[in-house]
Amino acid sequence: MTTATTIQEAGDDAYRETARRGAPMAVIHEVARTRRAATEHRKGDGRAAALFLAPWFVGLVLITAFPLLASLYLSFTDYSLLRAPGWVGIENYTAMFSDPRFFQALKVTFTYVIVSVPLQLVAALGLALVLDKGLKGLAFYRSIYYLPSLLGASVAIAILWRQVFGADGLINQVLAFFGIEGQGWVSHPDYALGTLIVLNVWTFGAPMVIFLAGLRQVPTMYYEAAAIDGAGRLRQFRNITVPLLTPIIFFNLVLQLIGAFQTFTQAYIVSGGTGGPVDSTLFYTLYLYEKGFGSFEMGYASAMAWFLLLIIAGMTAVNFVASKYWVFYDD
């Protein structure tokens, strides 16, 4: 309850009580004046709050809500950006399920998500465990390891990654030093997606910092009691650390799944915007971009965007339902 509301209620009670007792008019007027002042104070707080929140509400409507609803409408139209949209009903949605490249994009994206996200979380947790051991210069190492999360989705890193895994890149130079003949990893359909998976695993900084914060919250008395009972480090990790970290694991899992489904920049740069070779890096978002801004099939692209929203919502819902079986909250 706010201060203004408390004053208002107190003023109302005082006003009624003084009037009931037949108090002098001067007292009644003073109580009435206090009541009016409290009301004006409350109105002033409301106006100030509305004023400060106005930019956020304007952004919510113009930048989020309106484009969202517009894309939903466009998903039921034939729209090419060059002419007015024409209503076609669910034709865009039915066309998706007869498009072989659409299914290839789904296959590539799900492979990327299912493989890269668990590996990324394992790498993040492993490094967090190392940094949690009281390493000197922890703040410096934490900042250094966080950098890949800031830079991993940038165009510059994607270009660098394409050069590193190119035919004359750093990887092949290292292999040549040991007498092994390399190849163009990003230009080979069997390995191109793997290079992007490695890139996503490399951006483990954000979940690592969250894991590190979670590890700092685990009470040391649990480890001390386990050590007295003869439990080794591996058993302590399995029976204490992991159960108490399951809320953090769940949080990171949901965030990284959502982010992985929306991956675009890396695939676009590494494949030259084509999803090649032979559609081996045709991510869902990349194919959506091709349809919308390459073929000017904006209605089809909008339908794809809404289908992706349903996929992400479904995966998130599954995670929340399954979490009650493996996430432990130490209440």
Q: Which amino acid is at 96?
A: M
4: confidence class by pLDDT, cuts 50, 70, 90: very low
pLDDT in tens, 220-250: 899 999 999 888 989 999 999 999 999 999 9
pLDDT at 34: 64
Residue 331 has pLDDT above 70, yes or no: no
Burial 286-310 (b: 16+ CB within 10 A, else e): bbbbbbbeeeebbbbbbbbbbbbee
Residue 290, token pair as written in the block? 């091709």
Average pLDDT rounded to a whole number, residues 286-308:
95
Residue 83 has pLDDT above 60, yes or no: yes
SS3 call for 1: coil
212 three-class SS: helix
87 has which bridge partners? 77
